[in-house]
Amino acid sequence: MNTTIRTSMFFCLAIILTTRLIHAEDQPAQNQKKDDTIQSRINLSCPGNYKHHLQGVCVSADSIFWSFTTTLVKTDHSGKLLAKVPVANHHGDLCHHNGKIFVAVNLGKFNDPNGNADSWVYVYNASNMKEIARHAVSEVFHGAGGIGFHKGNFFVVGGLPDNVPENYVYEYDADFEFVKKHTIHSGHTHLGIQTAALVNGHWWFGCYGEPKITLVTNTEFKLLGRFEQDCSLGVAQNNDHRMLVASGTCRPEIGCSGKLQSAIASPTQGFSLQK
């Protein structure tokens, strides 16, 4: 076999092998794109109407938990009602951890400059929705309204008086011993922060106002984004790592409703709902 033929054969073989390698490398990306497309999206309503508006949502592997201020509701991931229990006014945002539901509760005044709040975290068994503990969190000076969990600790947010140019996050250990007060240099948000959740390594905070505001920080509470978007009625991370955003309406003589949708989250651009 002469040199020219041998060189041509090697060249053809190299092209074939390269083509196969490129196809093999492309295949996982194609599969991932397909998996993302068929991955289930949540777009559901909470059954029933309630006296007070939705304050927050959280999820477990098989359930969704909704706080309607004076009623806690448990559904499955299709929206089927599993349980509902009456609770004290004002139960706020909530989070799930280790088979328990933790709810930020204020029994005093919200947003009072003199700190006349009465802030607690109530704990419920996620299976039967029975109350199992209460923890005083008096450091939450303007009223506990929201709660999240990260790396063994709980983070509580809440009210804010007018004209205060920053928000606060109160960190507690697993036994609800106070650890630290964090400051978010966010500018003022109306009545502070209502909802909190860690989504894919970033904190998302929902705030009231006109327009309503969403804050995004890193895990050290450095502000990454302030967006005119509304997750003030609930924000959570689903089991598939998608963001979940709650909404709701209240109508006289009918009551208040709640809805939950999947969303795509970007800490530098905000979130977009998936329909």
* Per-residue pLDDT tens digits for 176-190: 999 999 999 999 999
Which superfamily does 43-273 belong to?
A: Glycosyl hydrolase domain; family 43 (2.115.10.20)
Whether 9 shows a pLDDT value over 80: the answer reads no
Q: What percent of the chain has pLDDT over 90?
A: 84
Answer whether 137's CB lies under 8 Å from 121's CB: yes
Answer whether 215's CB lies under 8 Å from 231's CB: no
Domain ranges of the chain: 43-273
Mean pLDDT (the chain, rounded): 89
* Per-residue pLDDT tens digits for 88-147: 999 999 999 999 999 999 999 999 999 999 999 999 999 999 999 999 999 999 999 999
The pLDDT value recorded for residue 30 is 34
The pLDDT value recorded for residue 198 is 98
CB within 8 Å of 43: residues ≥ 6 apart: 260, 261, 262, 274, 275
CB within 8 Å of 93: residues ≥ 6 apart: 55, 56, 67, 103, 104, 145, 146, 147, 157, 194, 195, 196, 234
Tokens of residue 29, six digits: 């990306």
Cis peptide upstream of residue 113 (ω within 30 degrees of 0): no
The pLDDT value recorded for residue 41 is 87
* Per-residue pLDDT tens digits for 205-227: 999 999 999 999 999 999 999 99
The pLDDT value recorded for residue 249 is 98
Among the ranges given (4-18, 165-179, 230-244), the one the predictor scored with the smallest mean pLDDT? 4-18
Please name the helix (run of DSSP H) or strand (run of DSSP E) that holds residue 180, with its range, or none.
strand 178-184
Q: Tell me which of 7 and 93 has the higher pLDDT.
A: 93
Q: Tell me which of 208 and 38 has the higher pLDDT.
A: 208
Answer whether 60's CB lies under 8 Å from 112's CB: no
Whether 156 shows a pLDDT value over 50: the answer reads yes
The pLDDT value recorded for residue 266 is 97
